[in-house]
Amino acid sequence: MQSSITTNRLSLTLVQAADAAFMMELVNSPGWLEFIGDRNVHSLEDATTYITRLINTPDLFYWVIRNNESNIAIGVVSFLKRGYLHYFDIGFALLPQYKGNGYAFEAASSVLKLALSNPAHPVVLATTLPNNAPSIQLLTKLGLQYEKVILQNDEALLVYKITAA
């Protein structure tokens, strides 16, 4: 996968240790805590450790989304192979102040297009909690379709799927 992606309004670059302050803010934002979970990142050192773990995880790509005009980090898109899924999974999260501007759609659709153009990724999945209406809406807008419910760590997750054309 590419280390950087550029869209009309956004630049996506793979996460680096220099993103620690941003990551600390993002993983402690209300939406992240509610729908993704507490990652126990409460200091810059914790954030750096978290980023190092992401960077060193095989089959995981984690792009920081930046606004092209301001170069401010506003969110992330992930693409990873989870042990409990047969195909790679796409995920996304934005800081609350940047939601509702189409940024998540723009960033995630660019990663999705890149992934589906690669023969190694004929199918892309996404998982979300059943009560995460904004995520479900975005997954549907991206063209993913509801596939099934799975249980992971005693929690129900909705699985969405898209297949390369």
pLDDT digits (tens, 9 = 90+) for 30-45: 999 999 999 999 999 9
| Amino acid code (one letter) for 54 | L
| Residue ranges of domains in the chain, CATH in brackets | 4-121 (3.40.630.30)
The pLDDT of residue 19: 98
Distance of alpha carbon 92 from alpha carbon 80, whole angstroms: 12
Nearest CA to 65 out of 55, 75, 79 is that of 75
Residues of the chain with pLDDT under 70: none
Q: Is 91 in contact with 25 (CB distance < 8 Å)?
A: no
Distance of alpha carbon 32 from alpha carbon 161, whole angstroms: 22
CB atoms within 10 A of CB 150: 13
Q: Is 128 in contact with 19 (CB distance < 8 Å)?
A: no
The pLDDT of residue 1: 82
